[in-house]
Amino acid sequence: MTIEKSLVDGKLTLKVSGRLDTNTSPDLLAALKCDGATSVEFDFADLEYISSAGLRVLMAAQRSVMEGNGKVTIARPNEMVRGVLDMTGLSSVFEIV
Amino acid sequence: MRRLAIYLAAASLYAAMLAVTWSITSRQAWEKTQSQLDFSVRDLHNTLAGAIDTMLSHIASTAVRHVGTAHFIPMDHMKEIAKELDIDELCIISREGIVISSNDPHSIDVDMTSIPVLEEFMALTNGTTTTVSQPFRPHANNPQVRSKYLGAPFPGGDGYVQVGLYEGTLQKMLPAVLGSIFDEWLLGNTGFFLCADRTTGKLFSNPSRHRNEAKTLAEAGYDVSTASEREFLADGKATGVTFVQTLFGEKCFCRAFLFAGHRFVAALPKREFFGTRTMLVSVLSVLLFGVLAAFTLSLDRIFRDSDRLKKFYAAEDERRAKDMEIAKTIQDSALPRPLPDSPCFRIEAAMQTAREVGGDFYDYFPLDATHLAFLVADVSGKGITAALYMMTAKTLIKNKLLAVRDPAAALTEANEELCANNPASMFLTAWVGVLDLESGIVTFANAGHNPPVMISGSQPAEYVRKMSGPLLAFLDDAKYAAQTVKLGIGDALFLYTDGVTEAMDEKGELFGEQRTLDALNAVETPDAHALCGVVRSVVAAFSEGLQQADDMTVLAVRYLRPPTVYSRAFPPTQEGIAAASRFLDDVLGKSAWREARVTGLGSTLHVILDEACSNIVKHSGATDFTLDIEIMDSPSGVRITFSDNGTAYDPLAHLDPDTTLPASERAIGGLGILMIKKMASSVQYHRSRSRNFLVVERTEQT
Q: Tens digits of per-residue pLDDT, B482-498?
A: 999 999 989 999 999 99
Which strand (E) or helix (H) includes residue B608?
Answer: helix B602-615
Does residue A87 belong to the interface with chain B, where contact is any CB pair within 8 Å?
yes
* DSSP helix/strand/coil, B217: helix
E strands along B219-354, which residues?
229-231, 243-247, 250-259, 262-269, 345-352
Predicted local confidence at residue B564, as pLDDT: 79
For residue B672, list chain A residues with Cβ-Cβ distance below 8 A: 51-52
- Which stretches in chain B have pLDDT values below 50? 702
Nearest-angstrom CA–CA distance, B407 and B412: 8
Domain ranges of chain B: 179-269, 335-559, 565-699
Query: What's the pLDDT band for A37 if we cut at 50, 70, 90?
Result: confident
**CA nearest B603 in A: which residue?**
A49
Query: Do residues B208 and B233 make contact, with C-beta atoms less than 8 angstroms apart?
Result: no
- Give the integer Cα–Cα distance in Å for A7 and B123: 191
The per-residue pLDDT for B661 is: 64
Pairwise CB contact (< 8 Å): B604 & A80: yes
pLDDT at B180: 58
What domains sit in chain A, N to C, each tagged with a CATH number? 2-96 (3.30.750.24)
What pLDDT shows up at residue B595? 67
Q: Of the candidates B414, B584, B111, B309, which has an alpha carbon nearest to the alpha carbon of residue A21?
A: B584
Q: Which residues of A touch B666 (CB under 8 A)?
A: 59
Check residue B257 and report its DSSP letter: E
B82 touches B92 (CB < 8 A): no
Nearest in space to B659 (alpha carbons), one of B651, B667, B648 = B667
Mutation site for B-interface testing, chosen from A22, A62, A64, A96 by largest number of B Cβ within 10 Å = A22
pLDDT at B549: 73
A-B CB pairs within 8 A amount to 73
Determine whether the interchain pair A21/B581 forms a contact, defined as Cβ–Cβ distance below 8 Å. yes
Task: Check CB contact under 8 Å for B607 and A51.
Answer: yes
Q: Is A1 on the interface with B (CB under 8 A)?
A: no
Q: Is the pTM of this model over 0.90?
A: no
- Report the chain A residue with the minimal C-alpha distance to residue B578: A23
Cβ atoms within 10 Å of B628's Cβ, excluding its own: 15
Per-residue pLDDT tens over the stretch B438-484: 889 999 999 999 999 999 877 889 999 888 889 999 888 999 999 99
CB-side neighbour CA atoms (13 Å) of B640: 30
Q: Enter the ipTM.
A: 0.92
Residue by residue, DSSP assigns B529-577 as: HHHHHHHHHHHHHHTTTPPPSS-EEEEEEEE-----EEEEEE-SSHHHH
CB B492 within 8 A of CB B528: yes
Around Cβ B701, how many Cβ atoms within 10 Å?
Answer: 8
Residue B430 has a pLDDT of 95
Check if the beta carbon of residue B418 is closer than 8 Å to that of residue B462. no
Strand B250-259 and strand B243-247: the pairing is antiparallel
Domain B335-559 matching CATH 3.30.420.40: the answer reads no
Q: Which three-class secondary structure state does DSSP give residue B334?
A: helix
Q: B698 to chain A: which residues are within 8 Å by CB?
A: none
Q: Is the CB of A84 inside 8 Å of chain B's CB atoms? A: yes
3-class state of residue B661 by DSSP: coil
Give CA–CA dist A59/B349, Å, rounded. 61
B664 vs A62: CB contact, 8 Å cut-off?
A: yes
What is the distance in angstroms between the Cα of A79 and the nearest Cα belonging to chain B? 10
CATH class of the domain at B565-699? alpha beta
* pLDDT score for B702: 45
CA B13, B16, B19, B21 torsion-angle sign: negative
Q: What angle do CA B487, B493, B495 make, to 5 degrees?
A: 155
| Residues 17 through 36 of chain A touching chain B, CB cutoff 8 Å | 19, 21-23
Chain B nearest C-alpha distance from A34 (Å): 21
